[in-house]
């Protein structure tokens, strides 16, 4: 990963020295026992088995009927759940993070609870309020897991909008936004004012019940952002399915109007962009320019995307043009273009522009770290996948430069680090980033 942060201003200049590969020689696994490594290999093989990937939920339901919920749950915890989950309690999560911190890794938690678009389960305001409570606790845990003496900007947390607002509401808003004249009353500024004031919105495109749910959803989002700002935790909002992404982008933009102003020291709210969609580069360019013109800080998490098969199947059922890139190579080209665009924004606009590059792809890591080496003050991270021990070549630039945390020039060297991923109870997922050097990161 790359998370570019302060200071990113000043003249860009190339780094000196050649690029050397970063290899994982097994040192990062000394906290893992033989049983844990064997489990990791087993899970890796299971997750590469297409029938399990396709019918995983059916297998789980069959297992519960055949073995009972207790035995089925025990087997799940001993295998896939145990591999990807940091713990079932806050204390277990702390213990897991403590092991990783011994290696210089820091946590990024998430509450990946979301409402699936084809879910038949009925949700209520109580369900969304319970999710809100979980997210507020996750904010507290995110802050508590980071060294209180370190820079507050190292605390990050991921957020799913559909855990706080219904998919049906997001679908209605998205359909209205996409109409030629339907978005005039759906400005980010109006929603931000409603968040801040608590006054009810009355949108003509929604029913009375939907307007009430929208106001409650705005209040929940505002409370999470407010609490995160107070705790100095930055929120990374996940992208979801394309048919609700316009509404998610609108809600993120409203949060950005309120919390990403220079006075707030933002960006506190970041949006996620999926490179496997055909229009991502255009939207990213438009959003970056709009944030710059509005004088707002702009936080971006750049990913390839996670809903490819379902997006294509839904497009075919609806008889619409496929919105996804035709193949892996096209997705990689899109990712590369978006990465170049954001690195230029970072170089041109300085501190208000923050970027996280989330990629499992070696070439993307090479491109990101090599290009970042030409931008003054950029901090570089690479990606490590849990359960794997393969070497990941990653170019790095030796030599001293100003540390991205603001240490005096020459006091430390910004080097590539590693990222790991696990999860905790109620879907608390943890992405770990690392900084090497004498400064307190």
Flag whether 260 is in a domain.
yes
Q: Phi/psi of residue 95, each to 5°?
A: -65, -45
H/E element, 100:
helix 90-101
Contact between residue 175 and residue 167 where contact means Cβ atoms under 8 Å apart = no
| Domain tally, the chain | 2
**Separation CA 257–CA 221 (nearest Å):** 13
Contact between residue 337 and residue 367 where contact means Cβ atoms under 8 Å apart = no
**What is the average per-residue pLDDT within 110-123?**
68
The verdict on 229 and 318 lying in the same domain is yes
Could you read off the pLDDT of 124-151 as tens digits, one per residue? 899 999 999 999 999 999 888 876 555 4
Q: Which residue has the higher pLDDT, 253 or 29?
A: 253
**What is the average per-residue pLDDT within 2-26?**
42
- CATH code at position 326: 3.20.20
Structure tokens at 28: 């990062």
The verdict on 58 and 137 lying in the same domain is no
What is the predicted pLDDT for the residue at 292?
92
Flag whether 95 is in a domain.
no
Structure tokens at 37: 């490594």
The verdict on 64 and 127 lying in the same domain is no
**What is the average per-residue pLDDT within 380-399?**
32
pLDDT band of 405, cuts 50, 70, 90 = very low
Q: Which domain holds residue 324?
A: 3-25+103-434
The pLDDT > 70 percentage for the chain reads 71
Pairing mode of beta strands 3-4, 420-424 = unpaired
Could you read off the pLDDT of 334-356 as tens digits, one per residue? 999 999 999 888 888 877 888 88
**What is the average per-residue pLDDT within 151-178?**
85
Contact between residue 276 and residue 241 where contact means Cβ atoms under 8 Å apart = no
**Separation CA 381–CA 414 (nearest Å):** 9
pLDDT band of 393, cuts 50, 70, 90 = very low
Could you read off the pLDDT of 91-108 as tens digits, one per residue? 888 888 887 777 766 677
Given 42, 62, 87, the domain boundary residue is: 87
The verdict on 187 and 71 lying in the same domain is no
The verdict on 121 and 253 lying in the same domain is yes
* CB within 8 Å of 347: residues ≥ 6 apart: 8, 12, 375
H/E element, 271:
strand 269-274
**What is the average per-residue pLDDT within 67-71?**
91
* 295, pLDDT greater than 80: yes
* 398, pLDDT greater than 50: no
**Separation CA 346–CA 209 (nearest Å):** 42
**What is the average per-residue pLDDT within 406-433?**
31
* 31, pLDDT greater than 60: yes
- Give residue 4's Cα distance to chain centre: 14
What is the predicted pLDDT for the residue at 199?
81
DSSP 364-407: HHHHHHHHHTTSTT--B-----TT-----------S----TT-P
Structure tokens at 348: 């041109």
**What is the average per-residue pLDDT within 161-185?**
85
The verdict on 7 and 62 lying in the same domain is no
The pLDDT > 90 percentage for the chain reads 35
What is the predicted pLDDT for the residue at 186?
86
Flag whether 259 is in a domain.
yes
Q: Which residue has the higher pLDDT, 352 or 212?
A: 212
pLDDT band of 376, cuts 50, 70, 90 = very low
Flag whether 94 is in a domain.
no
Structure tokens at 373: 């080496």
Q: How would you class 324 by CB atoms within 10 Å of its CB: exposed for 0-12, middle for 13-18, buried for 19 or more?
A: buried
Task: Say which range, 38-42, 82-86, 255-259, 287-291, has the weakest mean pLDDT.
Answer: 82-86
Contact between residue 22 and residue 396 where contact means Cβ atoms under 8 Å apart = yes
Structure tokens at 342: 């954001």
**Separation CA 28–CA 31 (nearest Å):** 7
What is the predicted pLDDT for the residue at 165?
94
Torsion of CA 167, 170, 171, 172, to 10 degrees: 130
The verdict on 215 and 258 lying in the same domain is yes
The verdict on 20 and 36 lying in the same domain is no
Flag whether 97 is in a domain.
no
What is the predicted pLDDT for the residue at 181?
67
Contact between residue 151 and residue 232 where contact means Cβ atoms under 8 Å apart = no
The verdict on 74 and 122 lying in the same domain is no
The verdict on 204 and 59 lying in the same domain is no
What is the predicted pLDDT for the residue at 164?
95
Q: Which residue has the higher pLDDT, 154 or 185?
A: 185
pTM for this structure?
0.76
* 27, pLDDT greater than 80: no
Pairing mode of beta strands 428-434, 108-111 = antiparallel
What is the predicted pLDDT for the residue at 392?
26
**Separation CA 94–CA 96 (nearest Å):** 5
Flag whether 296 is in a domain.
yes
Q: How much of the chain is in helix, strand and coil states, percent to nearest 5?
A: 50, 10, 40
Flag whether 440 is in a domain.
no
The verdict on 293 and 410 lying in the same domain is yes
DSSP 28-53: GGTTS-HHHHHHHHHHHHHHT-HHHH
Q: Which residue has the higher pLDDT, 423 or 292?
A: 292
Selection from 118-132, 278-292, 386-400 with the highest mean pLDDT: 278-292
H/E element, 90:
helix 90-101
Q: Phi/psi of residue 234, each to 5°?
A: -90, 135
What is the predicted pLDDT for the residue at 314?
82
Under DSSP, the state recorded for 427 is: G
Alpha helices in 116-207 (DSSP H): 125-144, 167-177, 188-197
Flag whether 439 is in a domain.
no
The verdict on 55 and 153 lying in the same domain is no
């Amino acid at each position: 990963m790359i998370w570019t942060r302060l200071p990113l201003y000043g003249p860009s200049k190339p780094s000196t020295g050649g690029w050397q590969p970063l290899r994982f020689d097994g040192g990062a696994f000394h906290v893992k026992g033989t049983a844990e490594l064997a489990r990791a290999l087993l899970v890796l093989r299971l997750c590469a088995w297409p029938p399990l990937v396709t019918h995983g939920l059916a297998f789980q339901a069959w297992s519960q009927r055949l073995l009972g919920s207790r035995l089925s749950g025990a087997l799940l915890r001993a295998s896939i759940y145990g591999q990807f989950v940091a713990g079932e309690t806050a204390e277990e999560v702390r213990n897991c993070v403590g092991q990783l911190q011994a290696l210089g890794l820091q946590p990024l938690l998430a509450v990946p609870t979301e409402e699936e678009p084809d879910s038949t389960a009925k949700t209520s305001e109580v369900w969304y309020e319970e999710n809100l409570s979980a997210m507020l606790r996750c904010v507290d845990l995110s802050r508590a897991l980071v060294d209180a003496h370190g820079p507050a900007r190292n605390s990050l947390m991921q957020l799913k909008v559909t855990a706080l607002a219904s998919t049906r509401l997001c679908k209605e808003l998205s359909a209205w936004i996409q109409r030629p004249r339907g978005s005039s009353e759906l400005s980010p500024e109006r929603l931000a004012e409603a968040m801040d004031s608590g006054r009810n919105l009355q949108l003509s495109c929604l029913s009375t019940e939907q307007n009430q749910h929208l106001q409650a959803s705005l209040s929940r989002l505002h409370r999470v952002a407010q609490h995160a700002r107070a705790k100095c935790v930055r929120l990374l909002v996940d992208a979801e399915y394309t048919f609700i992404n316009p509404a998610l982008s609108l809600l993120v933009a409203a949060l950005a109007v309120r919390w990403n102003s220079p006075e707030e020291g933002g960006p506190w709210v970041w949006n996620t962009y999926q490179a496997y969609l055909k229009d991502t580069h255009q939207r990213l360019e438009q959003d970056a320019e709009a944030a710059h013109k509005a004088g707002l800080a702009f936080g971006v998490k750049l990913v390839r995307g996670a809903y490819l098969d379902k997006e294509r199947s839904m497009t075919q059922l609806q008889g619409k043009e496929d919105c996804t890139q035709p193949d892996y190579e096209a997705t990689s080209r899109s990712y590369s273009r978006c990465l170049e665009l954001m690195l230029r924004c970072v170089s041109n606009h300085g501190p208000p522009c923050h970027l996280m590059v989330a990629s499992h792809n070696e070439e993307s890591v090479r491109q990101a770290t090599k290009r970042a080496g030409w931008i003054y003050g950029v901090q570089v991270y690479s990606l490590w996948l849990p359960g794997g021990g393969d070497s990941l070549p990653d170019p790095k630039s030796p030599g001293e430069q100003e540390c991205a945390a603001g240490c005096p020039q020459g006091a430390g060297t910004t080097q590539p680090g590693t990222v790991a991923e696990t999860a905790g109870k109620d879907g608390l997922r943890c992405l770990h980033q690392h900084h090497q050097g004498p400064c307190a990161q």
